[in-house]
Amino acid sequence: MMIEDWEICQLYWNVLARHKGDELKACEDVRKKYFEDFAKTKDLHLFLGTTRQFHLVAPNPFIIIGAFHPKHEVQGRLF
């Protein structure tokens, strides 16, 4: 799925610069950040939306337009 979220894109550009243009290492770092950090330690939500350009012609016009990752909160007991 295509990603248009600016935070994910900026993370990619930062790690790409850190790895001196090595795209494979940059993608691995982004993947690691989301799968190892956000998915396991935070309550990760990805917001989906559509773009008018592809809405009627694409088989799946949805794209990721945002990410929300607050700290994971364990709910207390219900009485």
Q: Which helix (H) or strand (E) holds 66?
A: strand 62-68
Please give the chain's pLDDT, 79 residues, in tens: 788 888 888 999 999 999 999 999 999 999 999 889 888 888 888 899 887 777 778 888 888 889 888 887 777 777 6
**Is-contact 38 22, C-beta < 8 A?**
no
